[in-house]
Amino acid sequence: MKENIPEFLQEILLNEYGEKLTNQIINGYTKNRPTTLRVNTSKVNIEDIKQTLKELKIIFKEVPWNETAIIIEDIKENEIKELDIYKNGEIYLQSLSSMIPPFVVNPKEGENILDMAAAPGGKTTQMANLSNNKAMITACEKNKIRAERLKYNLEKQGTSRVTVMLKDARKLDDFFSFDKILLDAPCSGSGTLNLNQTDIEKVFTKELVERSIKTQKELLKKAVKILKTNGELIYSTCSILKEENEKVVEEILKLGNVEIVPIDAEKFKDIPLLPVNIEGTICVCPNELYEGFFVAKLRKNL
């Protein structure tokens, strides 16, 4: 075991996943992942971006489950930011794992969709792309600085029909009603830890986990209230701890008016998955390409 992993986290991982998978997770924490990006199909054709990268002699790989995603193999993020395709908003730097929830949302033209914790806007703009900019998206962000960053990214990416609300989504009025809700909830970030960084024990604490769980439960309860009957709620975190994932979802299921909609794992081939307690949810194992990530899909039936 790595010395700089907080002891309480090691204990949780061993208890939830056993020694073999815990070692695999910790190994994933040591990886420096390549730069990954998503082509902004609102502005440019995927093949045009690939051609541009070839002309610039930038080595890249495609992603089997996501035709808009590209893995950059030979240059770093700061170099990508110097390219015109980045400055023009034709690409968006985004981790592969964080591209999964919008696919599970599967936004359609004309749908009324809420992104409950939207900044900096990666998933918001991806949902706009997937709906051909024809879904009506409300993007919530409670922090003013982060909300400004969200607005900047939305404008740069050329998204339309997105309304930004500077508001804590927990305090949204109950008269709101949405066809679909994406709750990419604030979390401990246990799926994204990097053991090559120092002072992890100061950043990743029991208090952070406990505070995250409280917020997650409050946001989920609000989401269920303002979701239309037969509407879909996608809950995701960049955590691999069951306390923030399955256990939070299980508590919401006890309300009796929501049910799990199984995610088709076949759609996400080649993604390393961890075992889950709720069939139909997915939990990504951190490795050299992917951050740890959890996604669940629920339907309101009453």
Q: Distance between CA 287 and CA 56 in Å, rounded?
A: 28
Please state the φ and ψ torsions of residue 37, each to the nearest 5 degrees.
Answer: -145, 165
Q: Distance between CA 146 and CA 152 in Å, rounded?
A: 10
Catalytic residues, by residue number, are 238
The 3-state secondary structure of the chain, one letter per residue: CCCCCCHHHHHHHHHHHHHHHHHHHHHHHCCCCCEEEEECCCCCCHHHHHHHHHHCCCCEEEECCEEEEEEECCCCHHHHCCCHHHHCCCEEECCCHHHHHHHHHCCCCCCEEEECCCCCCHHHHHHHHHCCCCCEEEEEECCHHHHHHHHHHHHHCCCCCEEEEECCHHHCCCCCCEEEEEEECCCCCCCCCCCCCCCHHHHCCHHHHHHHHHHHHHHHHHHHHCEEEEEEEEEEECCCCCCCCHHHHHHHHCCCCEEECCCCHHHHCCCCEECCCCCCCEEECCCCCCCCEEEEEEEECC
Q: Distance between CA 281 and CA 296 in Å, rounded?
A: 5
Per the DSSP assignment, residues forming a β-bridge with 297 are: 234
